[in-house]
């Protein structure tokens, strides 16, 4: 299965919605698209929504960690939301929850960043 990537700018936040599988076949595409969006736009924060993500491997963890470093270097924050149990477990086991904020859905993620709705 492939991966569909939807990027939306909301104020100074980049919302990234992934549908499908984030693995070694698709990780470079996600990384490149997110990097370009952050560099092009006025982006201070990133929200990654995994509502439609069916699979993620360690390559996906690398994408998340790399974009986390990119956005925090700019003084921003990263939030992940809409995690299915398998993706939640992978993030938990990797220790990324120690640095990432997790929210139930996009609305709560935006609220946690204090971006007015």
Can you give the pLDDT at residue 74?
A: 92
Q: Say yes or no: domain 3-109 is CATH 3.20.20.210.
A: no
Residues near 49 by beta carbon (within 8 Å), at least 6 away in sequence = 15, 16, 17, 18, 80, 81, 82, 105, 106, 109
Residue spans per domain, the chain:
3-109
Q: Is the per-residue pLDDT at 116 higher than 60? A: no
Tens digits of residue pLDDT in 9-59:
999 999 999 999 999 999 999 999 999 999 998 899 999 999 999 999 999
Tens digits of residue pLDDT in 64-98:
999 999 999 999 999 999 999 999 999 999 999 99
Q: At what angle do helices 58-73 and 85-94 cross, to 10 degrees?
A: 70
Scanning the structure block, which residue is given the tokens 């100074």?
Answer: 12
The strand pairing partners of 13, in sequence order, are 10, 45
SS3 content of the chain, % helix, strand, coil (to 5): 45, 30, 25
Q: Is the per-residue pLDDT at 6 higher than 70? A: yes
């Amino acid at each position: 299965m492939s991966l569909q990537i939807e990027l939306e700018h909301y104020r100074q936040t980049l919302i990234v919605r992934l549908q499908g599988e984030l693995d070694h076949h698709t990780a470079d595409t996600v990384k490149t698209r997110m990097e370009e969006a952050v560099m092009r736009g006025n982006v201070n924060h990133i929200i990654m929504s995994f509502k439609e993500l069916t699979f993620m491997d360690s390559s996906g963890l690398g994408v998340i960690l790399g974009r986390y470093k990119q956005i925090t270097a700019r003084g921003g924050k990263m939030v992940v939301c809409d995690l299915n149990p398998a993706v939640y477990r992978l993030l938990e086991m990797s220790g990324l929850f120690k640095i990432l904020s997790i929210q139930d859905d996009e609305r709560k993620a935006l609220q946690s960043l204090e971006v007015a709705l």
